[in-house]
Amino acid sequence: MSKTRSQKTELLNKYKEILETKKGYLLVNSDKTNTSTVTKLKIQLKDVDANYAVVKNSIFKVALQETNQPLQTQELDGPTAIIYFEEDPTGAAKLVKQTQKESELLSAKGGVFEGEFLSEERVMQLAEIPSREVLLSRLVGTMNAPLTGFMNAVTGNVRGLTMVLKGISEKNA
């Protein structure tokens, strides 16, 4: 059933809002997905601050053009869904890859993050990157390592002197 003009305008405005306000999005093939897979994916996406929506290609292409998105994203064909996120693209990319492994029903077409086009391969590479929290904890650990080493070196000399003095006092006693 075709949409009325007002429905199309409303849909176009929704797409433009998503493209302008979100930090990025992934485009996925949605023709082979089933309801249970999509429902499970939507629940998992909520946990990583991302959302899933099937798009109407013709209206979505207009929204892409009006918001000056990369040209590569405007070459849509076949049923398409968008996964849009606020901050971290790795969480959404990991879920796409995980869903693809489990059911082989979902595949990435590409995406955009901070205005830069992401090919299908780059989306899959994003899935390999640890999450922001893991990277921050590694950074803190790396920054803390020299300080810990310095403290061990300083206290090691004091500890050694203490052991020698204790040995001398036990020998004299």
* Site of tokens 């310095």: 150
Whether residue 8 has pLDDT greater than 60: yes
Whether residue 1 has pLDDT greater than 70: no
Detail the DSSP E strand segments found in the chain. 24-29, 50-55, 80-85, 107-113, 116-118
Tell me which of 86 and 151 has the higher pLDDT.
86
The one-character DSSP state at 94 is H
CA dihedral 68, 23, 63, 70 (to 10 degrees): 40
Q: Classify each residue of 11-21 as buried b or exposed e, where b means 16 or more C-beta atoms within 10 Å of its C-beta.
A: bbeebbebbee
Structural domain boundaries in the chain: 5-129, 130-173
Q: What is the pLDDT of residues 97-121, one digit of tens each?
A: 888 888 777 788 888 888 888 888 8
At position 111, the amino acid (one-letter code) is: G
Q: What is the pLDDT of residues 9-50, one digit of tens each?
A: 998 899 889 888 888 899 888 777 778 888 888 898 898 889
Two tokens, residue 2:
């075709």
Average pLDDT over residues 123-129: 85
Superfamily in which the 5-129 domain is placed by CATH: Ribosomal protein L10, N-terminal RNA-binding domain (3.30.70.1730)
